[in-house]
Amino acid sequence: SRGAAAIDDDEAARPAKRPQTLVISASGVDPAGRTALRAAAAAVERAGGGKARFADDELLAKLKGVLPARATHLVAQATDEDAKPPRTLKVLFALARGGCAIVRPSWVEASRSAGRWADVDDHLAGYGPPRAAGAGRRILDGLAVHVAPSALGPKDPSSSALTALVSAAGGRSVALRHAAVALVGTNWKPSDCRQAGLRALHRSGCALRFRWLCEAVEAGDAGAVARELYATNH
């Protein structure tokens, strides 16, 4: 019919949707693997399979180890081919923010071979399919959290990284006097603490090793992780 033909003409006249530009980051990938990732991105673009940029090249030095804000894919390398990649800060940010697929390096090679960005389902790294963007806001659900810089050791994540992760997981980063929970380092000792507020949270079981936050983010629900396992008074 003439009406159907008009609709077909309208569809044909519409410009084709531009493929999404992927924003790729890497975790645990050695320099050779990062070079392969850039080469794959160039090969896919030459084949007309879509554009991508390697966002880690754009990070400021102080943000190394933190997932770029708009990352769509995180390529995570395990030490063993069949193992689950380590739960790095980048992995945690991908889980907390949502909208980012955590994939194995095999996804890069599959994409290069196909001349287009491959579906992620066959290359997931062990952390499940991508979570919905923004779903992580429910993990802490507005919990008032204080990250105690003086209670973190040299091998713990930085206070700025943990504060950003708290926000990504839906928590509120607050001053110590307003905190319901304080996050401290792996080796923090209350006997060495001079902050009365932090000692009070310790006594009430609300000073928690920062790994509680990591477990909550991976589980997708802070309520699913027992606080007492990470409380400093146990």
Per-residue model confidence as pLDDT tens digits over 86-113 = 999 999 999 999 999 999 999 999 999 9
Q: Are 40 and 109 in contact (CB under 8 A)?
A: yes
38: closest CA among 10, 18, 58, 13? 58
Quick one: pLDDT at residue 12? Answer: 53
Confidence class for position 234, pLDDT limits 50, 70, 90 = confident
Q: Name the least confident of 5-19, 57-71, 189-203.
A: 5-19
Average pLDDT over all residues of the chain: 89
Quick one: pLDDT at residue 69? Answer: 81
**CA-CA distances (angstroms) from residue 140 to 90, 108, 159, 160, 213?**
18, 33, 18, 18, 9
Q: Are 177 and 146 in contact (CB under 8 A)?
A: no
Q: Name the least confident of 5-9, 41-45, 93-97, 134-138.
A: 5-9
Average pLDDT on 61-90 reads 83
**Three-class SS state of 145:** strand
Share of the chain above pLDDT 90, in %: 76
Check: pTM over 0.75? Answer yes or no: yes
Rg (CA), the chain: 22
Burial of 32-45, coded b for 16+ CB within 10 Å and e otherwise, reads eebebbeebbeebe
The residue type at 80: D
Share of the chain above pLDDT 70, in %: 88
Confidence class for position 134, pLDDT limits 50, 70, 90 = confident
pLDDT at 2 over 90: no
Residue 46 has phi, psi (to 5 degrees) of: -65, -35
Q: Name the least confident of 9-13, 85-89, 103-107, 206-210.
A: 9-13
Indicate the DSSP class of residue 85: P
